């Protein structure tokens, strides 16, 4: 793909025939490569730079390249997908204004999100306007494939503010969350627990927690789902703030911030604590013991449950049972 872009850089007018193939190859890239690819695409295709023909023409100026790129998009709107990576902010803005169809791959949805985080405010506004136009048309599998990466970027990309909220309207859709939940349920490797915590901001994820608790392959996913169900509360990461250590000397530290909400419309089965307490993973059993510490009044047979934890083969679970024995129950 990079070779194709490089070969075409000197004869822009011939891109029409090669453009579909280039877009297909870009579409196959994973969304997490979008930042690196942005630079590589611009360099390989010489975006914003004069071609050899431009240099030979008398009176060449950078304005000629800008006008030529705009005319290419006017003739063939699909050039806009390439010009999302253009070094000229006016061209990036025009590309977003030109696009009327939704991104057909997770990579290009990530490219639009990257423009939501653009250093130029007009480009961020254009990206927001584009996403508002097409958000309901984005295919569920495209949205679900990009969700883990983009949810993780929410608090690490620094330029965007409320623009990031537009992605919530995409990822919280009723046809997207089942795909993401199925991915979390069936996948064994990766930072799935982190993704589930990020998805917890959407109340619609609550209905998938019972299935994730009982049948997710990764123990950490089961543990988080059980913890939410057993405590009746969901917590998620919202960013970072500052906490003073010493105001006199101006010393402070960066601390994570969280928000929480109650579960919505999910009834806890009476044997849910026992299901978690008998899980094969100590991570889940430990989460069950922690939940019992947090919500003892809601467990009628807590003595038997504590006795079960006291017999656990893992010392971290037994230590929690010991704490429960020594702590009087509040009636």
Count of Cβ atoms closer than 10 Å to residue 100 Cβ: 11
CB of 257 within 8 A of CB of 230?
no
Q: Is residue 56 part of a domain?
A: yes
Tracing tokens 């965007």 back to the chain, one arrives at: 160
CA 250 to chain centre: 35
Query: 229-254 b/e with 16+ CB inside 10 Å = b?
Result: bbbeebbbbeeeeeeeeeeeeeeeee
Task: Work out the average pLDDT over 307-319.
Answer: 96
Reported as a pLDDT band with limits 50, 70 and 90, residue 70 is confident
Query: Could you tell me if residue 293 is inside a domain?
Result: no
Q: Which residues constitute the domain of residue 141?
A: 1-171
287 pLDDT band, cuts 50/70/90, is very high
pLDDT digit string, tens, across residues 225-256 = 999 999 999 998 888 888 988 888 889 998 98
Tokens (6 digits) for 263 = 């579960």
Give domain status of residue 69, yes or no. yes
215 close to 179: Cβ distance less than 8 angstroms? no
Within a domain: 279: no
Indicate whether 56 pLDDT > 50. no
Let me know if residue 301 belongs to a domain. no
H/E element, 240: strand 233-246
Does the structure show a pLDDT above 90 at 186? yes
pTM given for the model: 0.86
* pLDDT at residue 58, rounded to an integer: 43
Q: Is residue 22 part of a domain?
A: yes
CA dihedral 127, 129, 133, 137 (to 10 degrees): 30
In whole angstroms, give the CA distance from residue 15 to residue 82.
11
Q: Where are the alpha helices (DSSP H) in 28-61?
A: 34-44, 52-56
- Could you say which DSSP state residue 267 is in? P
> What pLDDT shows up at residue 295?
80
Asked, for residue 306, whether it belongs to a domain, the answer is: no
Does 117 map to a domain? Answer: yes
Average pLDDT over residues 32-38: 93
Predicted confidence (pLDDT) at residue 125 exceeds the cutoff of 80: yes
- Which residue in the block uniquely carries the two structure tokens 């309207």? 169
Give the containing element (helix H, strand E) for 280: none
| pLDDT tens digits for range 276-286 | 999 999 999 99
Q: How many domains does the chain have?
A: 1
């Amino acid at each position: 793909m990079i070779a194709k872009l490089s070969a075409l850089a000197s004869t822009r007018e011939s891109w029409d025939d090669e453009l579909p193939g280039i877009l297909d190859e870009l579409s196959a890239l994973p969304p997490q490569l979008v930042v690196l690819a942005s630079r590589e695409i611009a360099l390989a295709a010489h975006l914003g730079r004069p071609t050899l023909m431009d240099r030979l023409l008398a009176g060449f100026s950078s304005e000629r390249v800008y006008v030529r790129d705009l005319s290419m998009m006017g003739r063939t709107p699909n050039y806009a997908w390439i010009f999302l990576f253009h070094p000229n902010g006016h061209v990036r803005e025009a590309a977003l204004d030109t696009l009327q169809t939704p991104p057909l791959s997770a990579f290009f949805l990530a490219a639009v999100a990257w423009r939501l985080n653009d250093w130029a405010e007009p480009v961020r506004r254009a990206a927001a306007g584009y996403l508002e136009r097409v958000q309901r048309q984005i295919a569920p599998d495209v949205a679900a494939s990009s969700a883990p990466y983009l949810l993780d970027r929410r608090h690490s990309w620094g330029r965007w503010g409320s623009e990031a909220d537009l992605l919530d309207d995409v990822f919280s859709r009723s046809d997207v969350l089942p795909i993401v939940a199925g991915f979390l349920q069936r996948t064994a490797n990766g930072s799935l627990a982190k993704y589930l915590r990020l998805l917890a901001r959407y109340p619609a994820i609550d209905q998938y927690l019972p299935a994730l608790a009982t049948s997710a392959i990764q123990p950490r996913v089961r543990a988080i789902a059980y913890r939410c169900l057993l405590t009746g509360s969901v917590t998620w990461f919202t960013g970072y703030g500052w906490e003073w250590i010493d105001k006199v000397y101006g010393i402070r530290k960066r601390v994570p911030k969280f928000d929480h909400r109650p579960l919505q419309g999910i009834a806890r089965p009476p044997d849910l604590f026992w299901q978690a307490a008998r899980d094969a993973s100590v991570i889940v059993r430990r989460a069950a013991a922690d939940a019992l510490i947090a919500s003892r009044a809601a467990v009628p047979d807590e003595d038997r449950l504590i006795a079960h934890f006291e017999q656990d083969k893992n010392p971290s679970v037994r230590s929690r049972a010991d704490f429960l024995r020594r702590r009087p129950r509040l009636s």
